[in-house]
Amino acid sequence: MTAPLPLEGIRVLDLSTLLPGPLATLTLADAGADVVRIERPPVGDEMRTYEPKLGPTSANYAILNRGKRAFAADLKDARSLERVRAMAAVADVVVEQFRPGVATRLGLGPDEVRRRNPGVVYCSISGYGQTSPQAAKAGHDLNYLAESGLLDVVRDRTGSPALPPSVLADIAGGTYPAVVNILLALHQRDRTGHGAHLDISMAHNLQVLAYGYFATFQASGRWPRPGGELLTGGSPRYRIYPTSDGRHLAVAALEDRFWQRFLQLVDAPADCFDDAGNEKAVIETLSKIIEMRTAAEWHAVFDGQDVCASVVATFSEAVTQQLVSTDSPHRVTGPGVDIGALHSPIAAALRPASSSGAIPGLSPLPETAADNPWP
């Protein structure tokens, strides 16, 4: 007998757009939740228009919203709004991503929804939180990273901050805190019968990523030095070195046993072995050594060695090495579409062994209560 999924029977009303909210509700859906999206007519979520396309819909949208249902609703229209409010009245979770105050002005704010549905877990995801001095300020991922100080701690050779490899604030500051808090609030509701309003601030949650700088300041009063800390380029043991063919070698030999073996394998001079207080000189020496060989040659040197040194892979190489999967037993389907689904952070024991989720079309909002997605 197959065990029920952890969130089976949980109804999620998704009023969010783009990435943080939709990825959060996708994660909930992977654990069994029934997710219904409300999108603005006539196009729907702006992400539907992004390139490249899978049929008529953006691949980005398809990956993030497989297996959900989507309905078009103009929330400024009184009849449409009332039908959406009726859905919120029977939802277990509502996720919204408007600027603070907008949901309330539309008549779908936390107070209104919780008045009709006291047990609902109402999750608001925003850039700066619902009540901070910056609450009404527009922003995107790069702005939150810039204002949190994180963008300044790693700089390139010109001394400029580097663009991050992904949207860190959206996912690490928005999606994952939202999922964690929703699950905690559902557990609390099981005990108390009461729901909650969750205020998720992407910018403020980035402080967790800066835990080491926070600890250093609390203990010493010293701010992080851009490009100068242990994990930001100040140490030869944790650094990215160019190779002779324009590729790069990522070295993370922090512990002494890894560091000593790494230096042996690269045939470093004796004065590199004790790098304390001599970091800049060791970095210069190792940079010259690493730059003498190609990435493939260094891969051969470190293959099978326990040294924490890796060639920086391209995305296609990562797929070949099976560290990134573009195919899986979980599928995204649609007219003429059958592709692998995005890797789920939900552990295999808590989700189906395989599943197939359709790309949601944008259906008209049901006209009557009898046609409500959640009767």
Q: Is 197 a catalytic residue?
A: no
212: which 2 tokens? 């080491």
Catalytic residue among 77, 111, 140, 306: 140
Total number of residues shown for the chain: 375
In 3D space, the residue among 289, 284, 279 whose CA is nearest the CA of residue 309 turns out to be: 289
Catalytic residue among 30, 170, 199, 275: 170
Q: Is 140 a catalytic residue?
A: yes
Q: Angle at CA 284, nearest 5°, toward 283 and 290?
A: 80
Element (H, E) at 302: helix 295-302
Largest Cα span, the chain: 80
Q: Kindly give, in sequence order, each residue whose CB lies less than 8 Å from that of residue 137, ignoring residues fewer than 6 positions away.
A: 127, 128
103: which 2 tokens? 């949901």
Q: In what order do the strands lie in the sheet with 238-242?
A: 238-242, 248-252, 309-311
How many helices (H) does the chain have, and how many strands (E)? 14, 15
Q: Return the DSSP state at 161.
A: B
Active site residues: 140, 170
